[in-house]
């Protein structure tokens, strides 16, 4: 053994020791632990020679996970500056594919997050994203492109094949869903999904430098072909809904043309560089397309005219691929590097992660984890500090009843999902769920979803709150700058008060302060980065005072003395959360979480439930910032969450009211 490496088995020596000397020392491994360390070190030894100690330690951590040694991986990961850690990964003994992986798609199947991967062997496979377990046999062979979508409430895998057919399959049962589309010539090399005039469509990019649109249910072609005047086979396709209809972007050789999906007209084209990938993104200027190129880095294109917004960012990386989740953009390249970018600042978050093989594809999972395809393998990364997956994770909370209530749609226009607001209160001797259904507030049993009366009409207001006055439920709502209080069960008016304009519509909450029923209005102006909390007596609407502040209020505890605000968290967390006392001006606990679209703060001991557009419902302890568990991964965006008086958690997704009941007592740090 070399004298320069006195402890060839310690994490520090593994990271800092000369690779040649370490391999020599590991040849004399005797114990089971020493042999395991030697095996892990040899897994990517060809990358250690030119890697710095931090990169070497990161790859050793990844390889320990690939070799099924989580304890060794945890030991190696201690002290790593990376904000990410590997949760699971396939490895040399059981690779994800026989050939390199080139496409991946993430979604939800039967309440569990899944990933569909496609290798250069043209085989599509499905895995459980929680633990990496394969789900069934391969979806098919001779596959050139994959995507995941939802058809008639069921998760569907979209498969484009080299014979020019495109079909939809149930990833679990392997049964066909919808029709089979067929392009005239060539193979289907890229697929994406879009809603066109109320129906689900599949956008197919082919090897003949075209994009075609098919009805997902019937397989029939919809509209004209989108034919560029130049380019190569389609590398990627993305579809974005806009006010005038869906727009499609294609990555074809030296350009990324944008098309009006309804008319087939080419809107504009980005011809800045060789385009390798395209994805839908949303920045401070609104929705757009993120393009990835060999020489041009990353660009956000406006869907109206393909102009570049915010400038080009990202260095030259060969064979780059990208994925978007909120303000986070993850890129992977042929040199094995993975980097996460802050879309708001156009700057990278931390240093690149190095993988032992080229990165062929990258994606974000529904629960905010990073899925990386490198070489023949897959890896799932979680933010540092997030607990490891618990095998009993999905057994701690269960459905109290299946979804029952599906609200109607207004004639001629589907209801935006933000309209399905929810509140649960005790009325008399029973709990009542107040759920918005267009202009109406429905009264429902929060567990069974059964109607409890005709409901009341308030118009298309999305700003309302339910409370109690004189032992009767009341509802406050804001319409055209007029604040109104009505009986929550009958709709009978109690009082109305005009309000001055303070910015966007506020968040309303009814509570009791110093023994007085009080209505709170939380305003916030993004442009001025300030906010105010107005207080009104609930009985007559009398102004009681104002608290000026600089926070964005997201939700109230039932007592009203603690609010959940959007914190100032640093990357990789965006849209972080924090507890705040508006009257004492005190914050409690750290900032936590990211990319939450709806939140609910439980009264008593603090417990926060979060939901997002990926359908993930999670529980957090706001005093420690620790995510306690994931309750469910639903097949549609979470519209709203509400805690009931009986500690049940109620959720709205896909217009359905769903209730979760704990199978054990959930507690948080007092």
Closest by CA to 436, choosing from 411, 413, 410, is 410
Question: What are the residue ranges of CATH 2.130.10.10 in the chain?
Answer: 104-315, 393-662
Give me the pLDDT at residue 292, please.
86
What's the pLDDT score for residue 47?
Answer: 85
Contact 642, 600 (CB under 8 A): yes
The tens digit of pLDDT for each residue in 592-650 reads 776 677 888 876 657 888 887 777 888 888 887 777 777 877 777 788 888 888 778 88
Most confident of 111-115, 196-200, 228-232, 497-501: 111-115
Q: pLDDT tens for residues 355-367?
A: 999 999 999 988 7
Q: Is the pLDDT of residue 166 over 90?
A: yes
Distance CA 142, CA 654 (A): 34
Give me 390's structure tokens: 């618990």
pLDDT > 50? residue 407: no
**Per-residue DSSP letter, 393:** G
Residue 575 is predicted with a pLDDT of 58
When pLDDT is cut at 50, 70 and 90, the band that residue 296 belongs to is low
pLDDT of residue 393: 36
Give counts: helices (H), strands (E), the chain: 6, 50
Q: What is the reported pLDDT for 105?
A: 94
Residue 414 has pLDDT above 50, yes or no: no
Task: Identify the architecture of domain 104-315 in CATH.
Answer: 7 Propeller (2.130)
Q: How far apart are CA 177 and CA 218, in angstroms?
A: 10
The pLDDT tens digits for 147-165 are 998 888 788 999 999 988 9
Residue 569 has pLDDT above 50, yes or no: no
Q: What is the pLDDT of residue 417?
A: 36
User: How far is residue 508's CA from residue 552's CA, in Å, rounded to a whole number?
Assistant: 13
**Predicted confidence (pLDDT) per residue in 487-496, tens digit:** 999 999 999 9
Closest CA to 191 of 286, 268, 116: 116
**Which of 10-24, 376-390, 554-568 ranks highest by mean pLDDT?**
10-24
Question: What is the pLDDT at residue 356?
Answer: 93
Per-residue pLDDT, 492? 94
**pLDDT recorded at residue 593:** 72
Banded pLDDT at 555 (limits 50, 70, 90): confident
pLDDT at 297 over 80: yes
Report the relative pairing of strands 359-364 and 347-354 from DSSP bridges.
unpaired
Reported CATH class of domain 393-662: mainly beta
Residue 145 has pLDDT above 90, yes or no: yes
Cα 129 from Cα 170, distance rounded (Å): 17
Most confident of 47-51, 487-491, 540-544, 548-552: 487-491
Average pLDDT of the residues of the chain:
80
pLDDT of residue 411: 31
Helices 32-43 and 53-66, packing angle to 10 deg: 110
CA distance 574 to 160: 35
Give residue-wise pLDDT tens across range 325-369: 878 899 998 889 999 988 888 888 888 999 999 999 999 988 788
The dihedral through the CA atoms of 658, 661, 662, 667 has a sign that is: positive
- Of the CA atoms within 13 Å of residue 446, those in its CB half-sphere come to 26
Sign for the CA dihedral angle at 243, 147, 135, 65 comes to negative
CA distance 578 to 595: 14
Pairing of strands 143-151, 124-128: unpaired
DSSP assignment of 112-131: EEEEEEEETTS-EEEEETTT
- Band (pLDDT 50/70/90 cuts) for residue 381 is very high
Q: Is the model's pLDDT at 389 over the cut of 60?
A: no
Whether 590 and 573 have beta carbons less than 8 Å apart is answered as no
How high is the pLDDT of residue 419?
46
Q: List, in sequence order, every residue forming a beta bridge with 103; answer none if it has no partner.
A: 118
Q: What is the pLDDT of residues 212-221, one digit of tens each?
A: 888 998 999 8
pTM of this structure: 0.67
């Amino acid at each position: 053994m070399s004298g320069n490496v006195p402890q060839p088995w310690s994490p520090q020596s593994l990271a800092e020791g000369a690779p040649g000397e370490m391999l020599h020392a590991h040849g004399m491994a005797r114990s089971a632990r020493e042999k395991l360390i030697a095996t892990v070190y040899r897994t990517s030894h060809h990358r250690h020679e030119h890697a710095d100690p931090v990169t070497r330690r990161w790859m050793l951590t990844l390889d320990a996970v690939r070799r099924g040694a989580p304890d060794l991986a945890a030991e190696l990961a201690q002290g790593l500056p990376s904000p990410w850690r590997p949760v699971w990964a396939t490895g040399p003994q059981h690779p994800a594919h026989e050939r390199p992986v080139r496409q991946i798609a993430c979604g939800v199947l039967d309440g569990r997050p899944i990933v569909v991967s496609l290798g250069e062997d043209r085989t599509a496979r499905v895995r459980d994203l929680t633990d990496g377990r394969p789900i069934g046999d391969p979806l098919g062979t001779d596959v050139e492109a994959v995507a995941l979508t939802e058809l008639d409430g069921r998760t569907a895998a979209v498969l484009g094949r080299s014979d020019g057919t495109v079909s939809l399959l149930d990833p679990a049962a392997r049964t066909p869903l919808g029709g089979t589309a067929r392009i005239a010539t060539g193979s289907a090399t890229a697929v994406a999904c879009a809603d066109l005039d109320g129906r689900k469509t599949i956008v197919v990019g082919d090897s003949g430098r075209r994009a075609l649109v098919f009805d997902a249910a019937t397989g029939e072609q919809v509209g004209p072909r989108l034919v560029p005047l130049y380019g190569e086979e389609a590398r990627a396709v993305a579809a974005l809904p806009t006010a005038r209809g869906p727009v499609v972007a294609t990555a074809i050789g030296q350009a990324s043309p944008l098309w009006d999906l309804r008319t087939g007209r080419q809107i504009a084209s980005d011809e800045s560089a060789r385009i390798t990938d395209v994805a839908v993104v949303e920045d401070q200027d609104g929705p757009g397309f993120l393009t990835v190129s060999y020489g041009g880095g990353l660009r956000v294109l406006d869907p109206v005219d393909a102009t570049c917004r915010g400038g080009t960012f990202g260095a030259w990386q060969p064979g780059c691929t990208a994925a978007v989740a909120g303000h986070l953009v993850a890129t992977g390249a042929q040199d094995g590097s993975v980097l996460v970018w802050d879309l708001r600042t156009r700057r990278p978050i931390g240093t690149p992660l190095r993988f032992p093989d080229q990165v062929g594809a990258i994606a974000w999972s529904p629960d905010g984890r990073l899925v990386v395809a490198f070489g023949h393998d897959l890896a799932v990364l979680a933010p540092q500090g997030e607990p490891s997956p618990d095998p009993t994770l999905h057994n701690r909370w269960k459905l109290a009843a299946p979804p029952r209530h599906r609200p109607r749609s207004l004639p001629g226009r589907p209801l935006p999902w933000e309209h399905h607001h929810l509140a649960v209160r005790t009325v008399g001797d029973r709990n009542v769920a107040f759920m918005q259904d267009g202009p109406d507030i429905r009264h429902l049993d929060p567990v069974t979803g059964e109607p409890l009366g005709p409901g009341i009409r308030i118009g298309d207001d999305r700003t309302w709150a339910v409370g109690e006055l004189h032992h009767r439920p009341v509802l406050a709502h804001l319409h055209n700058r007029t604040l109104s209080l009505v009986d929550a069960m009958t709709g009978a008016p109690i009082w109305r008060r005009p309000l001055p304009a303070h910015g966007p519509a506020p968040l309303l909450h009814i509570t009791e302060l110093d023994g007085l029923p009080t209505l709170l209005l939380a305003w916030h102006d993004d442009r001025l980065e300030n906010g105010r909390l107005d207080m009104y007596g609930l009985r007559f609407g009398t102004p009681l005072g104002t608290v000026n502040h600089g926070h964005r209020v997201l939700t109230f505890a039932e007592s009203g003395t603690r609010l959940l605000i959007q914190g100032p968290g640093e990357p990789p967390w965006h849209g972080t959360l924090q507890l705040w006392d508006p009257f004492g001006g005190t914050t409690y606990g750290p900032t936590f979480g990211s990319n939450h679209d709806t939140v609910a703060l439980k009264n008593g001991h603090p417990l926060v439930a979060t939901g997002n557009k990926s359908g993930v419902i999670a529980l957090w302890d706001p005093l420690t910032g620790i995510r306690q568990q994931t309750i469910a991964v639903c097949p549609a965006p979470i519209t709203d969450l509400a805690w009931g008086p009986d500690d049940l958690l109620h959720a709205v997704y896909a217009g359905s009211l769903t209730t979760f009941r704990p199978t054990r007592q959930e507690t948080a740090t007092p």
